Amino acid sequence: MPFRHASPPLARALSARGFIAPTPVQAAVLADSAKGRDLLVSARTGSGKTVAFGLVLSDLLLKDNEHCPPPSAPLALVIAPTRELALQVRNELEWLYAETGARIVSCVGGMEPRREARALSMGCHIVVGTPGRLCDHIRRGHLVLSQLQAVVLDEADEMLDLGFREDLEFLLDAMPKERLTLLFSATIGRDIATLARHYQNNALRIDTIDANTPHTDITYRAVLTDPSDITGAVVNILRFEEARTAIIFCHTREAVRQLHTTLAERGFSSVAISGDLGQNERIRAIESLRHGQARVCVATDVAARGIDIPELGLVIHASLPSCPETLLHRSGRTGRAGRKGTCVLLVPPARRRAAERLFQAAKITAIWRGVPTKKEIAEADAARLLQASILSDQQNTNNNTSLQELADRLLTTHTPQQIAYALVDLWHTHLPLPLDVRVLTPEMTRHNRFERHTRITTQRECSRRQYPMASSWFRLSIGRADKADPKWLVPTLCKIGGLRKQDIGAIRINNHHTLVEIAQEKAQNLADQAINNAEGIKIESARPPARGEHKPQTERRFTKRTKTETRSKVFSN
């Protein structure tokens, strides 16, 4: 029996779920040296720790029996940092204890507290909850801990990061002194060690991971991305990878909202998870991912904590993580339970060095590349079609007479080539279209610093700023009266015409219109895209401004700098 320490009902539940052998954390907590002791365990998300502490609790709940005693006051308490993780833990324990008759109650924020109070009053064996809601039930007398024999702190580091220290101390002080205390954390920092010293008795330290060690089942890729093409890069990466389920991390709620809207418009079945959503909306979003109704989840870091999505094959960092711990925690959503996963970081060229330092600190080796092109995506689609199981699995077809008859009729009325064309067309019908994006390769960006230095030096040598290539002028229907400003005009023009900042030359703002200089090679593209643009700005071709007209601010600054440099030379002489 692979779980020799597990009681028969739990062993059968594990076998039914396909558990063949214990994971490292499960084997460590079930060892004879850990039996009956407080445990301080470092284990990352997805390592099987829920089953691990579920097996440890079984010794207290079952006591060599196959069924739990009649429910009364709870015997075990599991504390989790977020609602999603608490509900996930409850679901895991329910199938693990399905044959034992154990009654498990959850107490989490965002749910109806009176319903939870009624469930507690009916008796239970295990309570799973978040710190704030558990404290509230204790203060109201709904949750009685007098018979508690064990407590589990799951992802304790996150609970401290989220500011639950006082709630945790309140809960631990309200429990009987004679109890089993199991503390699980991804990292054992100073705060966790202090908490363990105060509330654990001669705890056994179990390290199943090294600090900042990456998942070995995850392939890391760093994609150089133009900051104005983040959305296009996400679309093309999703299409190139075609993972069954993917999650995209953004820093802010607004970024989540915008990206989710764009993906939905492009035809991706997606959901968003952020602090703007209510609890019921978040639960529905997660369930739609687990049941395959949605394929992509766009989320913020805090909202995605504790989310466990089966078969999550792709993680995209639309915004660069702030530290190695965040990178590893985000990436740890995939590559779980022995499955392979892919993690992609979108890196603007200006932040390439920061990304390299991040990889070095996290001990990660990433493959650098550009955004997948339409040609690469088409080749990947062709490979997936040729390897599709529907082409090789004939079992269902052979057992279905109506399908066989229809296939025979198709072969008699159409040529094999016509049928193949129809299959390819149907295959591509449900696939969202990739986007044209600017591809930045690692070789291109290595020379950016030198090119920028050369360009600035050349400009300083000129008595007057000149655009370095042939250009055309355009007239915009907004001016100083409309609060026109280069700070937002430049990104707006880039968005409308697919331009880069270096494609835009002088900007001359007048009272009621603005003249803009555009590189000749991009002028026609801007003219085509400017028609009925979403920004509502009328853009039309214009003649170059006559000599002596209002100069742009950049030119005035350059003239002033030149005079200052000249004055310094006179004084030095």
Q: What is the DSSP string of 196-232?
A: HHHH-SSPEEEE-S-TTPPPTTEEEEEEE--GGGHHH
Query: What pLDDT, on a 0 to 100 scale, did the predictor assign at position 84?
Result: 81
Does residue 122 contact residue 164 with C-beta atoms inside 8 Å?
A: no
Kindly indicate whether the domain formed by 467-557 is annotated with CATH number 1.10.10.10: no
Query: What pLDDT, on a 0 to 100 scale, did the predictor assign at position 59?
Result: 87
Query: What pLDDT, on a 0 to 100 scale, did the predictor assign at position 559?
Result: 38
pTM of the complete model:
0.59
According to DSSP, the β-strands at 204-207 and 296-300 are unpaired
Query: What pLDDT, on a 0 to 100 scale, did the predictor assign at position 305?
Result: 62
Give me 322's structure tokens.
Answer: 């702030």
Give me 564's structure tokens.
Answer: 């200052």
Query: What pLDDT, on a 0 to 100 scale, did the predictor assign at position 413?
Result: 87
CATH superfamily of 8-207: P-loop containing nucleotide triphosphate hydrolases (3.40.50.300)
One digit per residue, the tens of pLDDT, for the chain of length 573 reads 466 667 889 989 988 888 888 888 888 888 888 888 999 998 766 678 899 999 999 988 988 788 999 989 999 999 998 888 898 899 999 999 999 999 999 999 878 899 999 999 999 999 999 999 999 999 999 999 999 999 999 988 878 877 888 999 999 999 999 999 999 987 777 888 888 889 999 899 988 765 445 556 789 999 999 888 899 999 999 999 988 899 999 988 888 889 999 999 888 999 998 877 776 787 788 888 888 889 999 988 765 566 667 678 899 999 888 888 788 878 877 876 667 889 999 999 888 999 999 998 888 889 999 999 999 998 998 888 888 777 776 655 556 677 778 888 888 888 888 888 888 887 777 788 888 888 887 766 554 544 444 444 444 444 334 444 578 899 988 888 888 888 888 888 888 888 888 888 888 988 888 999 998 888 888 887 777 676 778 888 888 887 555 444 443 333 344 444 444 343 343
Count CB-CB contacts under 10 A for residue 306: 19
Length of the chain: 573
| Phi and psi angles of residue 351, each rounded to the nearest 5 degrees, phi first | -110, 20
Residues of the chain with CATH 3.40.50.300: 8-207, 214-391+398-446
Residues of the chain with CATH 3.30.70.330: 467-557
Helix or strand holding residue 472 (H, E)? strand 471-476
CATH number of the domain located at residue range(s) 214-391+398-446 in this protein? 3.40.50.300
Strand order in the sheet with 341-347: 270-273, 296-300, 245-250, 312-317, 341-347, 218-224, 367-370
Which residues does 352 contact at the CB level (< 8 Å), separation at least 6? 224, 445
Q: Look at residues 143, 176, 140, 152 and name the one whose alpha carbon lies nearest to residue 58.
A: 152
Q: What is the 3-state secondary structure (H, E, C) of 339-362?
A: CCEEEEEEECHHHHHHHHHHHHHH
Q: Look at residues 250, 227, 224 and name the one whose alpha carbon lies nearest to residue 237.
A: 224
